[in-house]
Copies of this chain bind each other. A is one copy, B any other.
Amino acid sequence: MAKDYGEVKLFGVVGSPFVRRVQIALELKGVKYTFIEEDLKNKSDLLLKYNPIHKKVPVLVHNGKPLAESLVIIEYIDEIWRNHPFLPQEPYDRALARFWSKFIDEKCLPPISKASFTACKEERDKGTEESLEALEFLENELKHKFFGGETIGIVDIAAGFIAFWLPAIEEAVGLKILTHEKFPKLSKWSEEYTNHVVVKENLPQRDKVVGFFKARYASIINASK
């Protein structure tokens, strides 16, 4: 890239699917950035200054200007760096991409969390059922190699949680949601996505993620006893 877009910093933690969304977006665009690792138990003054509302990662700081919320950041990145577009060109297709990204955050992630990290078995079963229902909509939406067509788009990046973190959670807590039988297209997409050269290099170590979720599950079950 000839044009100088200035300084890019990303405040994050290594295991977070939301931080990884932004990292993958930056890497797909070929943007050079500095990763600043946060300790969520002892958040830095800078993080609290940059994201006083949510006090969460990821925070992108571009030429000193901070921005929070992974999907908002990804659209921003897409508007600044125009190579490898994450959103389609046509307004209706752009709207659908926004709709599905929102759907993933609001309708897929909460039930997956409920199915995985709740002590009450009934709640877990309800979470599983809701997760299956939500993923069924995504399954039917997959019409190409990626949600974005032949290349990775914003919906793929948003759905990265389902491709990588969900299978790790399933292993950690003994759950089965994303099966080849029920979701052949989504399972194939999950493989394609996690094996994409840029994505693969920007995912955390699977065994560490599984270990993290195992510990989280154990602490929830123990606390309920």
Chain B, Cβ-Cβ closest to A91: B79
| 8 Å CB contact of A69 from B62, B94, B102 | B102
| 8 Å CB contact of A65 from B67, B79, B92 | B92
Question: Are B65 and A99 closer than 8 Å at their CB atoms?
Answer: no
Contact residues, A79-94 vs B (CB, 8 A):
79-80, 91-92, 94
How many whole Å from A92's CB to the nearest CB in chain B? 6
A76-B95, A94-B76 given; A53·B102 CB < 8 A: no
Question: Are B102 and A76 closer than 8 Å at their CB atoms?
Answer: no
- A96 to B60: give the CA distance in the assembly, Å: 12
Question: Are A99 and B137 closer than 8 Å at their CB atoms?
Answer: no
A79-B94, A94-B79, A107-B53 given; A102·B67 CB < 8 A: no
The yes or no answer to A120 lying at the interface (CB within 8 A) is no
Q: Which among A67, A73, A79, A95 has the highest number of chain B CB atoms within 10 Å?
A: A95
Taking the full assembly, how many copies of this chain does it contain? 2
Question: Are A67 and B92 closer than 8 Å at their CB atoms?
Answer: yes
Instruction: Return the CB mask of A130-171 against B: 1 if under 8 Å, else 0.
Output: 000000010000000000000000000000000000000000
For residue A62, which residues in chain B have a CB less than 8 angstroms away from its CB? Answer: 92
For residue A92, which residues in chain B have a CB less than 8 angstroms away from its CB? Answer: 62, 65, 67, 76
- A96 to B79: give the CA distance in the assembly, Å: 13
Chain B, Cβ-Cβ closest to A92: B65
How many whole Å from A159's CB to the nearest CB in chain B? 15
Chain B, Cβ-Cβ closest to A65: B92
Nearest 8 interchain pairs by C-beta:
A79-B91, A76-B95, A72-B98, A72-B99, A72-B95, A80-B91, A67-B95, A65-B92
